Amino acid sequence: MSLRKDFLWGGATAANQVEGGWQEGGKGISIIDIERGSVHGVKRVIDQEILPDVFYPSHSATDFYHHYKEDIALFAEMGFKVYRFSIAWTRIFPNGDETEPNEEGLAFYDRVLDELEKYNIEPLVTIHHYEMPYHLVKKYGSWRNRELVDFALRYAKVILRRYQHRVKYWLTFNEINNALTNPRPWHQAGIIYAEGEDQAQTKLNVMHHQLLASALTIIEGRKINPEFQFGCMLLYPKTYAQTCNPEDQLMVREKMLPLYYCADVQVRGYYSNTCTAYWDRNHSQPVMKPLDENILRQGTVDFISFSYYFSSVVGTGPIEQTDGNMSKAGVNPYLKATDWGWQIDPLGLRLALNDLYDRYQIPLFIVENGLGARDEVTAEGTIEDDYRISYLKEHIQAMKDAVEKDGVDVIGYTSWGCIDLVSAGTGELRKRYGFIYVDQHDDGTGTQARLKKQSFYWYQNVIKTNGEEL
């Protein structure tokens, strides 16, 4: 076994983290537009409205809205076969509950697709990536409300129809399982739990609504174009047991339940025993209508995509905690961590690939993986990010081992933040992931000039050799 000849190498971004242009082209206010940037290690602050003199990172982000031609040309120069990006719901339906879409928003993504077609880059579109109209939160209570399923379906049908001959690969919800695990699922679902709210009930309803919206999108999508390929998108929380105490091992399984919960429904098409056991743990279950089971059964995905950045440890003993993606993570003494405390574990990626493939036996797509780090521009204008190369090299090697030694079917790899963007977790610009540096900073300064990092040339060669030379 070796990597497919048509392996989809590329990079990934999300609208709210790169586009900027937050009030251009008729765009509405999204849940991220009212979220302040933060400083290292501190979580972002959500305001009720836009305040004057406050830094809101998504308002300008790294300005893909005005630089998309230049950026896509750079992706092409690296040899990208695929570019994963998300469509902002607020560009298409600014408030979310309109009956007619905003043509200017649709036209923007037409222009983006024009550029991708120019360079033969396959688009991979995320329909919901941590972005939704703020109006739907204020007026309807966000995904708590089943009406959101209809609004989301209307939005999905518009973009599926509009781009039916231009986009083949679609992801419904980014890191869908995050709505079950995150104590504040603002990005994933526009939810901040009210005081005294039955959180277990809310999160199961929210998840049911999103799973329904995902399934309906796929059912409708297949009517529009039977060639569409749909994927779920999961945050993979690789977890180890602290000791060989079986209780610690059981804790690992508990930690994985939210991921299996979503994947079982999206891949298998029904709430499995794992899901009902999760209901029991939460002393609650989602409110369902009689036809919902049929919808979930019909709207299953063609492939599984996931994000993988780090791993953590759980156990019955005391465990030191470090930072992780959207949550804390138990420290593993065998691993080193990034500047942001995320523990670097390439072998964990191979294990994750094996776990998902063993369990579901459908193609896998790694759609997020990368290193958030501080980059320095030298006096000569270069960025020597050998630390990023080393992180990516080890993870790509682990992916190749999963394919070549374990027989896992992987169809593509899109490195996260292929161009510098705003961190979702902290709203910082100084946490950079890109092969392309953007001269933009947390204090609002910068020329927005694009510079190629050392990793740009390295990744270019990886793609050219289909991963043979790392």
Binding site for ligand BG6 (CB under 6 A): 14, 17, 130, 174-175, 235, 307, 325, 368, 372, 416, 423-425, 431
Q: How far is the CB of 440 from ligand BG6 (least distance, A)?
A: 15
Residue 88, token pair as written in the block: 């902002």
Q: Which amino acid appears at position 437 of this protein? A: Y
Nearest-angstrom CA–CA distance, 48 and 54: 13
Nearer to ligand BG6, 299 or 425 (CB): 425
Q: How far is the CB of 11 from ligand BG6 (least distance, A)?
A: 13
Nearer to ligand BG6, 162 or 432 (CB): 432
Told to judge if 293 belongs to the known catalytic residues of this protein, a careful annotator would answer: no
Residue of 211, 83, 75, 112 whose CA lies nearest to 153 = 211
Do 131 and 88 touch, CB atoms closer than 8 A?
Answer: yes
Q: How far is the CB of 63 from ligand BG6 (least distance, A)?
A: 17
CA distances from 64 to 61, 199, 343, 425 (A): 8, 37, 30, 20
Nearer to ligand BG6, 209 or 431 (CB): 431
User: Among 115, 368, 394, 404, which one carries the catalytic annotation?
Assistant: 368
Question: Which string of DSSP letters, residue by residue, matches 65-86?
Answer: HHHHHHHHHHHHHHT-SEEEEE
Q: How far is the CB of 124 from ligand BG6 (least distance, A)?
A: 13
Q: How far is the CB of 146 from ligand BG6 (least distance, A)?
A: 25
Nearer to ligand BG6, 80 or 130 (CB): 130
User: Among 19, 131, 175, 428, which one carries the catalytic annotation?
Assistant: 175
Nearer to ligand BG6, 248 or 428 (CB): 428
CA distances from 101 to 89, 107, 121, 158, 428 (A): 10, 11, 26, 8, 32
Told to judge if 175 belongs to the known catalytic residues of this protein, a careful annotator would answer: yes
CB atoms closer than 10 angstroms to residue 438: 24
| Phi-psi group of 405: left, alpha or beta (phi > 0 → left; psi -120 to 50 → alpha; rest → beta) | alpha
Q: Active-site residue numbers?
A: 175, 368
